[in-house]
Amino acid sequence: MSDTHAHTVAYVRDTMLPPEVPPAAERGVIRWMRANLFSSWFNVLLTILGLAVLWSLLAGILPWFWNSVWVADSLSECREIRDALHGTGEEVSSACMAVITERWNQLLFGFYPQDLYWRPVAALIVFLAALGPVLFASVPRRLVWFTAAAPFLMYWLLWGGSIGGPLAVALGFAAAWGAFVLGSRFSGALAATIGAIVVPLLYWLLLTGPVAGLIGAVIPIELQFVPSKDFGGFMLSFIIGVAGIILSLPLGILLALGRQSNLFIINKCSIAFIEVFRGVPLIVWLLTASLLLNYFLPPGSNFDLMLRVIILVTLFAAAYLAEVVRGGLAALPRGQYEAADALGLDYWKAQRLIIMPQALKISIPGIVNTFIGLFKDTTLVVFIGLLDPIGMSNAIRADTSWQGINWELFVFIGLLFFICCFSMSRYSQHLERRLRTDHS
Amino acid sequence: MSTVVDDGRQSFRPSMLLYDTRYRSLTIQVVAAILIALGMSWLLWNVVQNLAAQGKDFSFGFLGQRAGYDINQQLIDYNSNSSHARAALVGILNTLLVAFLGCVLATILGVIAGVLRLSNNWLVARMMTVYVEGFRNVPLLLWIIAIFALMAEGMPQPRDFREGGDASMVLDSVAITNRGIYLPMPVWGPGSGVLLAVFAASLAAIWAFRRYAHKRQEATGEILPVLGVSLALFFLPAIVFYFILGGPVSLSYPELKGFNFGGGLHLRNSLIALWLALSLYTGAFIAEIVRGGILAISKGQSEAAFALGLRPRRTMSLVVLPQALRVIIPPLISQYLNLTKNSSLAIAVGYMDARATLGGITINQTGRELEGMFLLGLFYLVLSLLISGVMNIYNASIKLKER
């Protein structure tokens, strides 16, 4: 049979052909373009529209930036330099970036004394170093102690004065910890908790001043004091934003727990607080802080506008965070709570070991979005007279030599915020990936 | 015989208030209530003291007084002789106007951007990513100021529209100038009420017809041409009656008079800048919500629909959209709420919203900052509670019914 077969078939290939190169339309750039840009008539239309929009945007922006003048003393000088370079015939679009090179220090630091710029920069370095152990798992755990000390160090670097003040306040936290340890050794968990709340409060109310003076006398290290009204520019936004972020997270978690709690009064108070703060725009709260706060304080008392803003921003962000965390708590399966109960954990232990790690993990995107929102909202302080970057840009534009300049300042400020907010959102995506425990 | 002695109830010791879980929650609540009450009364006491020290009282009588200031954009009749309450109402309406316009435009932008970000067109998807990230990561205030500057300094002056000037009106009816945008405005002549009534009646008819068609389809399986009939009902009666009544509604076109435009509808720069910035900014957030909603529907759902023989359009409208909307709508409404609250940034461009009238000029003129800010806060609070109340009802109605 096989013989006949061999005779009837004229030719049998006994080797494989080498694979052919795909046709020109199905490979390389052309294939990619066909698949991603011109796959259907609708996509062709979209691509053409997109290219048109892109062209019109770039045609406006690129020459403007390309022809920019980087060194000049005023807008009119910028124009003169531009005309000298490109001729006066038709108007060439050209950015006057000289305003940035001339005034970058005000946009970044406000009216902070020029010779002390090293201090905010040092505070920023301390801040970044302190972030390390919190944000990245690869940094040694022991550095958390540095993170705990960093806020006091940063405060001292920024505002200056005697080192006694921040140290004395920090001692309050040490006192709280001491009271907790002693209380739990000699009495019970409850007494320890009460002690850890009452002892530092009493200390801060009564003893901080004398202790600060004492430490100042013993360790006479002092930096030149800089009042809050000299703070400005991006530094101000950054300080308010970071302080708000650090302070609002614990408060927001507490509020979320309060809202989930079945203790009637605490539940209702948390709901009222959250709804009132979320329902009213931040700008109304800021105006309240600047116009009305004196009504709510004992007659004659007055305190720093910047501190008021930080408190208000913190409360505002905490209300939003509370809702985000509540979403995380609600998303946890009921079995997790029941398992914690079955193990005999008390409320706080269950929260700390079982509930919160999972709930916070679920709510990371929302938490970071709230932080980004808070950071962007710090620009609103311009309306109550603080000189944030937008306030500084208004001040610069009010100067006769820079009158009429807009876009250069807007682009610079926008870039500063974009870098900070974009890196926050990227970090949150990284964190989500790192904490993912499922297998998909 | 065994007897059960109920020890716990008879021998109550004070320490049980702390160590017995039955009583501890009560103790905590009482302590919290006392602390909160103390704090509140301390604040109130301070307010009373401070008011007394300044010789002020707490009353809302100023609302009835003559306002004495002008508002450059009014939806209802108002002049400087009207009361502060009416000024506040004008401001509130202006807030609601820009919030409504902003919500509409933001939804359109957001849906387009969100869908295009998922498109398989590489260029457009990248451009939408740039739009979303760019607007989400830069403060809204900066966008408002930037768009305001673009309007005020980038657009031609009204005098450029004169003969020989280098600017011209779009379609001879819309003028975009550095003082705002001038649009044709409808003038409601006699008989326009009838026209409006006809239009309202045709809307009602569309609703009734769709209901009838749906019922019929449920009962018999026949599908009526809903879209065509709806469109016909929408346009035909109004057009027919427009000509029967002899054109009761006409358009007043903006015309150049001297150095400025007259006639037509004038949208001020402040409104345009606020509206566009709010819409673009919120649209970027809505785009992410829409994208997330579409991605949240597993591929198996549309595959199952195809397996049942549904065509792509029906799959979209009957299977994918209803489920995606369940994911999209709650955060969408909270974005609407954010937009409404963000409209208080009108302060940056001088748009006369509730903050500017009630919380601004009125406070400055009467010195009633406590009452004014209280009312302003109350307005925003009531608005957001209303919207979130509606949202809660909606959420409950679309909640997945499991077990």
Q: What CA–CA distance (Å, rounded) separates A157 from A440?
A: 47
> Distance between CA A175 and CA A197 in Å, rounded?
10
d(CA B384, CA B378): 10
Residue recorded with tokens 């308010």: A240
Residue of chain A whose alpha carbon sits nearest to that of B389:
A275
CA atoms within 13 A on the CB side of A3: 0
Burial of residue A143 (number of CB atoms within 10 Å: 0-12, 13-18, 19+): middle
Whether the CB-CB separation of A288 and A311 falls below 8 Å is answered with: no
The answer, for B120 touching chain A at a CB cutoff of 8 Å, is yes
Mean pLDDT score of chain B: 84
By Cβ distance, the residue of B25, B142, B341 closest to A414 is B142
* Position A208 pLDDT exceeds 90: no
Q: Tell me the nearest-neighbour CA distance from A294 into chain B, angstroms.
A: 8
The pLDDT value recorded for residue A138 is 81
Model confidence, pTM: 0.86
Domain A101-112+229-435 class?
mainly alpha
Alpha-carbon dihedral sign for residues B315, B316, B317, B319: positive
Q: So what's the pLDDT on residue B164?
A: 66
Q: To probe the interface with A, which of B138, B345, B369 has the most A CB atoms within 10 Å? A: B138
DSSP secondary structure string for all residues of B233-275:
HHHHHHHHHHHHTT--EEEEPPEEETTEEESSEEE-HHHHHHH
From the list B25, B138, B385, which residue is nearest A418 (CB)? B138
Q: Is A281 in CB contact (< 8 Å) with chain B? A: yes
Question: Per-domain residue ranges for chain B?
Answer: 84-161+267-398, 188-248
Q: What is the pLDDT of residue B366?
A: 85
The predicted-structure confidence for B225-234, as pLDDT tens digits, reads as follows 888 888 888 8
Identity of the residue in B25, B124, B344 whose CB atom sits nearest the CB atom of A281: B344
DSSP state letters, A138-156: TS-GGGHHHHHHHHHHHHH
Q: Are B379 and B358 in contact (CB under 8 A)?
A: yes
Q: Which residue has the tokens 């009495």?
A: A187
Domain limits, chain A: 21-65, 101-112+229-435, 162-223
Residue A110 — pLDDT band, cuts 50, 70, 90? confident
B267 Ramachandran zone, left/alpha/beta (phi>0; psi -120 to 50): beta
Min Cα separation B138/chain A (Å): 5
Contact flag B381-A264 (C-beta cutoff 8 Å): no
Contact A286, B373 (CB under 8 A): no
pLDDT at A69 over 60: yes
DSSP designation for B66: B
- Tell me, what's the pLDDT at A375? 92
Q: What is the pLDDT of residue A432?
A: 84
Contact A415, A334 (CB under 8 A): no
- Residue B202 near chain A (CB below 8 Å): no
pLDDT on residue A3: 56
The residues in A 73-112 lying below 8 A from B, measured between CB atoms, are: none
Say whether residue B119 is in contact with chain A using an 8 A CB cutoff.
yes
Put simply, the answer to whether B127 touches A190 (Cβ < 8 Å) is no
Which residue, B379, B278, B352, B274, is CA-closest to B90? Answer: B352
- Separation of alpha carbons B62 and B84, rounded Å: 7
How many residue contacts between A and B have a Cβ separation below 8 Å? 151
Kindly list the residues from chain A whose CB atom is less than 8 angstroms away from the CB atom of residue B122.
36-37
Of A190, A299, A406, the CB nearest to B53: A299
| A74 vs A403: CA distance, rounded Å | 9
Q: For residue B174, what is the DSSP state?
A: B
Task: Please state, in angstroms and rounded to a whole number, the distance separating the CA atoms of residues A269 and B395.
Answer: 24
**Is the CB of A292 less than 8 angstroms away from the CB of B46?**
no
The span from the CA of B130 to the CA of B382, in Å, is 36
User: Which tops the pLDDT comparison, A321 or A83?
Assistant: A321
Q: What is the mean pLDDT of chain A?
A: 85
Inspect the interface and report whether the beta carbons of A410 and B120 lie closer than 8 Å. Answer: no
Round the CA-based radius of gyration of chain B to a whole number and report it. Answer: 29
- Which pLDDT score is estimated for B208? 92
Residues of chain B contacting A266 with CB distance shorter than 8 Å: 28-29, 32
State the pairing for strand pair B180-183/B265-267: antiparallel
pLDDT cut 90: percent of chain B above it: 25
pLDDT of residue A239: 92
H helix or E strand, kind and range, residue B186: strand B185-188
Task: List the single residue in B with minimal CA-CA distance to A375.
Answer: B139
Gyration radius from chain A CA atoms: 31
Give the DSSP letter of residue A23. P
What's the rounded Cα separation, in Å, for the pair A114 and A104? Answer: 12
Tell me the percentage of chain B whose pLDDT exceeds 70: 94
Strands B175-177 and A222-223: unpaired
B14 is written with which tokens?
A: 């004070």
Better pLDDT: A440 or A346: A346
Average of per-residue pLDDT across A41-67? 89
- Over 80: is that where the pLDDT of A330 sits? yes
pLDDT surpasses 70 at B1: no
Nearest 10 degrees: Cα torsion A188, A189, A194, A197: 130
With a cut of 50, say whether residue A382 has pLDDT above it.
Answer: yes
Nearest CA distance, A266 vs chain B (angstrom): 7
What are all long-range contacts of A168-176, with beta carbons under 8 Å and residues at least 24 apart?
Answer: A168/A207, A168/A208, A168/A209, A168/A211, A168/A212, A168/A215, A169/A204, A169/A208, A169/A212, A171/A203, A171/A211, A172/A200, A172/A203, A172/A204, A172/A208, A173/A200, A175/A199, A175/A200, A175/A203, A176/A200
Per-residue DSSP letter, B1: -
CATH 1.10.3720.10 fits B84-161+267-398, yes or no: yes
Using DSSP's 3-state secondary structure scheme, residue B96 falls into helix
Average of per-residue pLDDT across B182-190 = 78
Determine contact: B363 vs chain A, CB below 8 A: yes
* Interchain CB contact of B130 with A (< 8 Å): no
